[in-house]
Amino acid sequence: MGVTTKSGAAPDPDQEVAVTASARRVVGTFRPYRREVAVVVVLILLGAGTGVVNPLLIKVVFDTALFPSGGGGPDLGRLGVLVAIMVALPVVGGVLGLAQTWRANVVGQRVMRDLREALFAHLQRLSLRFFTDTRTGEIQSRLANDVGGVQRVVTSTLSGILSNVVSMGSALVAMAVLSWPLTLLTLVTVPVFGWLSRSVGERRRKVTAEAQETMADVSAVTQETLSVSGILLSKLFGRSAEETARFQQHNQRLADLSVRQEMIGQSFYTLIFSFMSATPALVYLVAGLVLAGGPAHLTAGTVVAFTTLQTRLFFPLSNLLQVSVELRSSLALFDRIFAYLDLQQDIVEAPDAVALRPEEAKGHVAFRHVRFRYDGEPHRGDGAHEEEPTRGWALDGVDLEIHPGQLAAFIGPSGAGKSTISSLIPRLYDVQEGSVEIDGIDVRRLRSESLAALIGFVTQESYLFHGTVGDNLRYGKPDATDEDLEEAAAAAFILERIRQFPDGFDTKVGERGYRLSGGEKQRIAIARVILHDPRILILDEATSALDTASERIVQAALEPLMHGRTTIAVAHRLSTIQSADVIFAVDEGRIVEHGSHDELVRRRGLYARLYDQQFGGGWVEAHCVDGLVLASGEVVADEVELDAVKAPG
């Protein structure tokens, strides 16, 4: 009959294989520190050796010093020597134990350091797709909670397993030397406890996995709602009570799972300790029966020494069984960490990648028959996430050229694919078909550092770290001098404002730059790009979130930045791109027309309709909602099948 779990189902062989594979990977993390591990093993062996000597000396003390077989009083000389040895051995064992703990923790912490660094570095290399699909709180939970959860296993548990195994082995050998019948009696129940520990460990592993997932939910809710943006949103919409209730729900589940995690196996441990307490009494009973049956080689010293050795067997055994439960449960944490480490990088540098230095680059950008889709995800363009069941391609056959030094603008309705185009140039994503080229070189054949040096990116909401103004500016050029900072700030029309701050360039900007206005953040972001000094500049809705006054200031700051560079501007406000050298109109992932402002207005296509919609007096887009046609927010007709209608007035 096969072993069954509590639910009655047989254990899954595939799951056991997965557990074994995970355990091997955990052991493999210690491979770079083989010498240090060897030192720990030697210290464990020495410590176990000193620990087993005293119980054996107890027999000698009883049978030759306290109650010598020849009769008479105690042999005080022998007793003094034996006592001195028995006092010295625990001191030596304690020193060895301290050395073992120190070295084991050093090795364990180095493994933890390597694990954290490997996980962080691997996440840094993943494409933007992973981060748009994964909650920030979930990622933080893997780095903090999961890695922190395995810390005890790595730093002490694995060395504890070896220590307990050696202690058990040495105790068994000594017990067998004293009395093999009593040793067999002791070992009868060990397999039962081994089976129980495996069953309990598997149950605890599953609960631990649930607990870690719930902890990730708690971290995600905390990160989302207690950030500056999140708390502002909840206050403005009066959702504080609902957010608190949502947190309480996840928190209560975490508390319940934590209780289950702690309680699973407690009855098992109680059984173990009860057995440990009762076993010496059973030994006394068996010894009495043996002695009552006739002459035997059992002496008082043998019995006392044997029961003392039993303690050295059962305490490591109970620790080992408990550790096995914790180790199997901790494999759930390792599995979550390994799941991230096993994620394939979809943006990989080619073996023959070349470098293109900014001073050598011309800034010629070309799209050759580009087709791109967000695999398995809703169509996303310009930050939109609408489902498009009839067309999965975000870009479908895009061909275009932007010549060096040109200002090229992309316009089109929301979700058309404008921001997708801008994201493919710095290789935030890779195309499925066709190619994106800079100076005739496919961006997939450019070294990542070289590509980053070529391109400067200013987005609608430029991200600022929670540091000083100077720290955020130097992100574009780490070795920038104070004079460099002032020149860049002056070029971005933000220098005088920075000088008005309490601490100038040392002023803290707050989380995501929340202490600054939108225009100030954008100008600091522009100054950062000026320091970066790219050959190609991408402006993705860089001014759309600003008021008119701030927009004009930021546009003035952008003019010197765009001078002499190839500039790609994504915009909804057509007033910002009328002077562009070439304008590309994008609709449903395709370039439907391109040319100068005057050419496109005369063509009366998509650009002209968008232009008339923004500036009035012309044709505007109309939308059918609930049987009515709306244009510019007003009802203009009953439901009709028209692409556009004349705006009233």
The pair of three-digit structure tokens given for residue 521, joined into one six-digit string: 């953040």
| CATH code linked to domain 365-600 | 3.40.50.300
The pLDDT score that the predictor gives to residue 61 is: 82
Domain residue spans of the chain? 19-211+261-341, 365-600
- Greatest mean pLDDT among 70-84, 102-116, 190-204 lies in 102-116
**What digits encode the pLDDT tens for the residues 390-449?**
357 999 999 999 999 999 999 988 888 998 999 999 998 899 999 999 999 999 999 988
Bridge-based pairing of strands 365-372 and 433-438 is antiparallel
pTM of the predicted model as reported, rounded to 2 decimal places: 0.66
Q: What is the pLDDT of residue 584?
A: 95
Cα–Cα dist 205/189, whole Å: 25
pLDDT tens digit sequence for 18-43: 667 777 888 788 888 889 888 988 88
Distance CA 428, CA 441 (A): 17
pLDDT at res. 544? 63
Q: What angle do CA 577, 580, 584 make, to 5 degrees?
A: 85
Q: Is the model's pLDDT at 306 over the cut of 70?
A: yes
Provide φ and ψ at 630, rounded to 5°: -110, 135
pLDDT at 5 over 90: no
Query: CB within 8 A of 128, min separation 6: which ones?
Result: 423, 428, 429
Calpha distance 309→170 (Å, rounded)? 9
**Residue 396 near residue 371, CB atoms below 8 Å:** yes
Cα(507)–Cα(509) distance, rounded to whole angstroms? 6
Question: Which residues lie below 8 Å from residue 642, measured CB to CB, with a gap of 6+?
Answer: 622, 629
- pLDDT at position 399, please? 94
The whole-number average pLDDT for the span 228-245 is 68
Is residue 182 a contact partner of residue 306, using CB atoms and an 8 Å limit?
A: yes
Cβ pair 473, 488 in contact under 8 A: yes
pLDDT at residue 135 tops 50: yes
In the DSSP assignment, the letter for residue 375 is: T
Range from 6-10, 87-91, 277-281 that averages highest in pLDDT: 87-91
Element (H, E) at 99: helix 76-125
Q: Are strands 395-402 and 407-411 parallel, antiparallel or unpaired?
A: unpaired
Say whether 264 sits in a helix, a strand or coil.
coil
CA 327 – CA 410 distance, rounded (Å):
56
What per-residue confidence (pLDDT) applies to 460?
Answer: 76
As a whole number of angstroms, the distance between CA 178 and CA 293 comes to 19
Distance in angstroms (rounded) separating the CA atoms of residues 354 and 444: 10
Summarised one tens digit per residue, pLDDT across range 448-461 is 888 988 988 888 77
Q: Is the pLDDT of residue 337 over 70?
A: yes
Q: Is the pLDDT of residue 120 over 60?
A: yes
Q: How many CB atoms lie within 10 A of CB 354?
A: 10
For domain 19-211+261-341, the CATH architecture is Up-down Bundle (1.20)
**Mean pLDDT score, 539-568:** 76
Question: For 611-647, how does the pLDDT look when each residue is reduced to its tens digit (9 = 90+)?
Answer: 888 776 444 444 444 343 444 433 333 333 333 333 3
Q: Report the pLDDT value the prediction gives residue 410, as an integer from 0 to 100.
A: 93
User: Residue 372 — very low, low, confident or very high, per pLDDT cuts 50/70/90?
Assistant: very high
pLDDT tens string 53-67: 777 787 788 778 787
CA distances to 333, 368, 425, 443, 457 from 349, rounded to whole Å, are: 30, 20, 15, 10, 21
Q: 98 or 329, which is more confident?
A: 98
Percent of the chain topping pLDDT 70: 76
In this structure, are residues 149 and 330 in contact, taking their beta carbons and an 8 Å threshold? yes
Which of 71-85, 291-305, 356-370, 513-527 is most confident?
356-370
pLDDT tier at 367, thresholds 50, 70, 90:
very high
Cβ 325 vs Cβ 204: under 8 Å: yes
Residue 392 near residue 379 (C-beta atoms within 8 A)? yes
Angle at 440 between CA 436 and CA 445, to 5 degrees: 65
Give the mean pLDDT of 456-479: 84
From the list 462, 465, 524, the residue with the least C-alpha distance to 491 is 524
- Rounded CA-CA distance 202/7 in Å is 12
Identify whether the C-beta of residue 495 lies closer than 8 Å to the C-beta of residue 486. Answer: yes
Where would I find the H helices in 126-189? Answer: 128-133, 136-141, 147-149, 151-152, 158-178, 180-187
pLDDT digits (tens, 9 = 90+) for 175-232: 887 777 777 777 776 676 666 666 666 677 677 777 777 877 777 777 667 765 666 5
pLDDT recorded at residue 622: 45
The one-character DSSP state at 592 is E
Rounded to an integer, the average pLDDT of 521-550 is: 81
The Cα-based distances of 176 to 54, 172, 294, 302 in angstroms read 16, 6, 21, 11
pLDDT the model gives residue 391: 52
209 or 336: which leads in pLDDT: 336
Least confident of 138-142, 156-160, 297-301: 156-160
Q: What is the pLDDT of residue 383?
A: 40
Give the containing element (helix H, strand E) for 366: strand 365-372
Two domains, one topology: 19-211+261-341 and 365-600: no
Residue 354 pLDDT = 92
